Amino acid sequence: MSFESKLMQMKGLLNKKNEPLKKEGTGKPVPVNKEKWLAVGLELIENDFGFVYRRAVRYPADHFHGDIRLGELDGVLHDWEQADADHPFRLLKKDRLLFFDTETTGLAGTGAYIFLAGVLERTPEGFEMIQYVLPDPSNESAFLYEIGLWRDPEAKLFSYNGKSFDWPQLLSRWTLHRNRLPPLPQLVQIDLLHGTRRIWKNELERLKLSAIEEQKLGLIRTGDTPGHLIPAIYLDAVKNGDPSLLRNVLLHNELDILSLVALYTVSSRLLISDLASETDGAYTNIGKWYADLKQYEKSADYFEHVTKGRGETAARARYLLAIQKKREGEYGEALQLFKEAAPNMRGAQEVDAWVHLAKLYEHQLGNFDQSLIMTRLAKEAGEHVGVRQSVMEDIIKREQRLMEKMRKKQDNPQDR
């Protein structure tokens, strides 16, 4: 049976033999099997729209998640305040930070409900996480309202793949209740999956949060509930009234959210000043990220750190730093960096490095002989690695133009 079919059954539960209790004084239907749900560590709360289950967990600042102490977040925010470079991860200690994750009954569509949402934020004593659980579909408005993301349009929302999944799902469910609920603001979002891709691209085989936890946070989960089982566990709890397995689902969500704090802490250190704990490939990626943000001074710090070494990774850093130097008009440094990088690179970037050298020799130094040599090296490399046809056509045109320039120079010695 599909998840959507099970959800339709859930909607019908309130009209079947398990007639819900009535709350004294209000007449609102209380979710069925309430006592069993309370037994898994939840409390039942009521708002203007209905009922929601809630779980609160508090952590001291010295609580460790893997190798990372949660209180290190404050130090990272302080360091960002002192940093002279701008970056999407740069936040301030005064900012309200919300670390957010959801569990859903499906991946997409109107039949996919968010049934669990966790939000963690800093408190004067440490951190507090609140998890909200949907009792059944009839209380969805109450559930969405209670999460509270509508309250503070200035909050900064952390997630892992939230921009592509959690937030669109929330918007979709919110839209269905928009006539009852307050408007949902477009919060500033820090999607740590995007940052993980930028830092560890080509360095890690898998970017699932569980893999990042093991390799970068020092956390190995044992007995964790597999993600693909979570929807079925919730649907069964609502249908059959036995939420005992939800304890594991709540723990899964809790660990996911704590990992957001730890991952932001680790990533920020690398983006601010840590030049000792990671691979050259990761530091090159960070330099490229800063260059894409036009923070060239900061990007140069990372590239220059990597260029102290050798090999293909160091060559890529030299290549990227050379592009930056060329843009800044430092042609001599750019020329030397390209010459050191090109022979140690592979693929299209090797071809591009030779082309850059050809352009520098031709346009900045007026040395057509060397430019032709670089062009032919680019052509040879292009034929070997199989670059796009348009690239090869441009190289051949450059070769022909340079040969024509040299011929004209030979015919007119006075122009030499």
User: From first to last of its 416 residues, what are the pLDDT tens digits of the chain?
Assistant: 454 555 455 545 434 444 444 554 456 688 989 999 999 999 999 999 999 999 999 999 999 999 999 999 999 999 999 998 899 999 999 999 999 999 999 876 557 899 999 999 999 999 999 999 999 999 999 999 999 999 999 999 999 999 999 999 999 999 999 999 999 999 999 999 999 999 999 999 999 999 999 999 999 998 899 989 999 999 999 998 889 999 999 999 999 999 999 999 999 999 999 999 999 999 999 999 999 999 999 999 999 999 998 888 999 999 999 999 999 999 999 999 999 999 999 889 999 999 999 999 999 999 999 999 999 999 999 988 878 899 999 999 999 999 998 888 777 766 55
pLDDT in tens, 174-205: 999 999 999 999 999 999 999 999 999 999 99
Strand, coil or helix: what is 297?
helix
Residues with Cβ within 8 Å of 138's Cβ and at least 6 positions away in sequence, in order, are 11, 14, 29, 50
Residue range(s) in the chain whose domain bears CATH number 1.25.40.10: 280-415
pTM beyond cutoff 0.75: yes
Two tokens at 375? 């062009």
DSSP state of 163: I
Residue range(s) in the chain whose domain bears CATH number 3.30.420.10: 3-272
Residues 353/316, Cβ–Cβ less than 8 Å: no
Residues 354/377, Cβ–Cβ less than 8 Å: yes
Assess if CATH 1.10.1040.50 describes domain 280-415.
no
Q: Within 10 A of 352 (CB to CB), how many other CB atoms are there?
A: 20
pLDDT of residue 405: 86
Rounded to 5 degrees, φ, ψ at 44 are: -95, 125
pLDDT of residue 16: 43
Beta bridge partners of 18: none
In the chain, what percentage of residues exceed pLDDT 90? 82
pLDDT of residue 411: 72
Assess if CATH 3.60.20.10 describes domain 3-272.
no
Angle between helices 296-306 and 311-327 (to 10 degrees): 150
pLDDT of residue 14: 39
Residues 217/68, Cβ–Cβ less than 8 Å: yes
Looking at this protein, which amino acid is placed at residue 51? F
Two tokens at 108? 């997409």
